[in-house]
């Protein structure tokens, strides 16, 4: 028997033994394949047309951001080094459009992305990039979260990930969230979506910074909209790895994310209840909390369950910070290329708004942006309901104390 087969048999045996030993824990914390990243330079780009005076004028008014006007630049189709699930241009904040395909099949539609976000494609091996403004330069950064990137020794590496996950769980580090009893109810934790797995997780580079929550910012992630519920944790993990490894950020940019099934995911590390500074809205990150809807809502309307998830998170977070859902607040701009307000100037915004209000971006997509006033009203209604229930409980408690406690029935 070859040494490779002996190694494979040994790994399988060890994995089987460990999975049997920790089966109850693993049933609540499912194994996910180790995510991997890879990159390659953007290939030579063809210039299709010169920018018109009108295009230049629009771009100047938006700090060079946006995807308006004719397509000026387009790359050739790019064969990726391995199969990928997410792709973007690392560290580039300006707007680009990407399309993908698998094994020479039909191309997807063009999808616009900006502000350092990748596009989730759900399994592809070719990509093409175009731009309506800036020349396309830099490196294409890919993330595979499916475990099917064809690296040498892929099967053994994947099994090694399973063994490591089992060992961590056996050691007591992977305590199922439901038994911990210390976090807010209903969130999918970083451990549950894969941030803490080794290898292939997404731990922050440094300790998180704290700010002050004065408003909530709504985003979308520019992902395909037809994903399964089981895919969503992998999408969050892939976004985190692109933000951290591709853009060089400390961690995932958002404080929370919501999938189309209404599940709320813990975003940046540091604690959902704390005012963790994210990377969701350049220039005002230390004064806001950012929540991203997983999907592309440029034209598609978000599901009712997704909207309920946004409302649930924003109501909880703003109530915790003592911020009313109705009304406005003033934010002090720290500037930045994508920020509409110069550094040192103050801006007046609603306490719940979409990303494009303060930054040069189409985020959170026109279809979701139109729903923000309704979301704002629902958040206010939910906060008011919570306050009424709390006051009612307090009155009952005071009444019981005044009358000597609860009588036996």
Supply 27's token pair. 């049933």
Q: How far is CA 236 from CA 104, 143, 222, 286, in A?
A: 27, 11, 12, 22
Tell me, yes or no, whether 356 lies in a domain. Answer: yes
- Do 238 and 385 share a structural domain? yes
- Do 377 and 276 share a structural domain? yes
Does residue 3 surpass a pLDDT of 80? no
Cα first-last separation, the chain? 76
Among candidate residues 270, 31, 265, 34, the one with its CA nearest the CA of residue 169: 31
Residues 6+ apart with CB under 8 A from 303: 260, 261, 262
**Rounded distance, CA 263 to CA 188, Å?**
7
Does residue 20 surpass a pLDDT of 60? no
Q: Where does the pLDDT of residue 62 fall: very low under 50, low under 70, confident under 90, or very high at 90 and above?
A: low
The 10 Å Cβ neighbour count of residue 201 is: 20
Tell me, yes or no, whether 9 lies in a domain. Answer: no
- Do 298 and 210 share a structural domain? yes
Number of domains in the chain: 2
- Do 358 and 262 share a structural domain? yes
Higher-pLDDT residue of 12, 387: 387
184-236 pLDDT, tens digit per residue, is 558 999 999 999 998 899 999 999 999 999 999 999 998 887 899 999 999 99
Among candidate residues 320, 333, 316, the one with its CA nearest the CA of residue 378: 316
Domain enclosing residue 106, as ranges? 36-144
Q: Where does the pLDDT of residue 29 fall: very low under 50, low under 70, confident under 90, or very high at 90 and above?
A: low
Q: In the predicted model, what is the mean pLDDT of residues 81-86?
A: 94
- Do 208 and 293 share a structural domain? yes
Neighbouring C-alpha atoms within 13 Å toward the C-beta of 66 = 18
Q: Looking at residue 43, what DSSP letter applies?
A: P
Does residue 283 surpass a pLDDT of 80? yes
Tell me, yes or no, whether 178 lies in a domain. Answer: no
- Do 215 and 130 share a structural domain? no
- Do 100 and 224 share a structural domain? no
Long-range contacts of 368-374 (CB under 8 A, 24+ apart): 368/218, 368/220, 368/293, 368/297, 368/301, 368/302, 371/301, 371/302, 371/307, 372/218
């Amino acid at each position: 028997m070859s040494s490779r087969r002996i190694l494979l048999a040994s790994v399988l045996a060890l994995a089987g033994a460990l999975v049997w030993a920790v089966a109850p824990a693993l049933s609540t914390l499912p194994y996910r394949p180790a995510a991997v990243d890879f990159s390659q330079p953007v290939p030579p780009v063809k210039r299709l047309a010169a920018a018109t005076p009108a295009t230049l004028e629009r771009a100047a008014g938006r700090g060079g951001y946006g995807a308006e006007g004719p397509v000026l630049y387009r790359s050739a189709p790019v064969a990726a080094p391995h199969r990928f699930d997410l792709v973007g241009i690392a560290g580039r904040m300006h707007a680009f459009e990407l399309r993908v395909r698998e094994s020479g099949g039909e191309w997807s539609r063009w999808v616009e992305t900006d502000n350092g976000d990748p596009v989730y494609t759900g399994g592809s091996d070719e990509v093409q990039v175009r731009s309506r403004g800036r020349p396309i330069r830099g490196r294409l950064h890919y993330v595979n979260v499916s475990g099917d990137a064809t690296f040498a020794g892929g099967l053994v590496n994947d099994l090694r990930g399973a063994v490591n996950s089992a060992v961590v769980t056996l050691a007591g580090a992977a305590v199922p969230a439901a038994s911990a009893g210390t976090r807010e109810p209903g969130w999918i934790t970083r451990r549950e979506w894969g941030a803490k797995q080794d290898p292939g997780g997404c731990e922050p580079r440094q300790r998180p910074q704290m700010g002050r929550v004065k408003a909530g910012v709504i985003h979308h992630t520019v992902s395909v909209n037809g994903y399964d519920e089981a895919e969503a944790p992998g999408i969050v993990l892939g976004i985190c790895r692109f933000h951290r490894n591709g853009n060089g950020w400390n961690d995932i940019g958002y404080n929370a994310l919501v999938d189309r099934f209404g599940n709320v995911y813990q975003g940046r590390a540091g604690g959902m209840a704390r005012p963790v500074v994210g990377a969701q809205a350049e220039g005002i990150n230390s004064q806001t909390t950012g929540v991203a809807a997983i999907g592309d809502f440029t034209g598609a309307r978000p599901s009712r369950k997704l909207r309920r998830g946004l409302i649930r998170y924003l109501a909880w977070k703003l109530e915790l910070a003592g911020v009313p859902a109705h009304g406005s607040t003033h934010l002090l701009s720290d500037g930045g290329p994508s920020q509409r307000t110069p550094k040192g100037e103050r801006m007046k915004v609603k306490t719940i708004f979409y990303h494009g209000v303060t930054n040069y971006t189409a985020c959170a997509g026109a279809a979701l942006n139109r729903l923000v006033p309704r979301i704002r009203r629902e958040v206010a209604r939910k906060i008011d309901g919570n306050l009424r229930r709390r006051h009612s409980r307090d009155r009952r408690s005071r009444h019981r104390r005044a009358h000597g406690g609860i009588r036996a029935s």
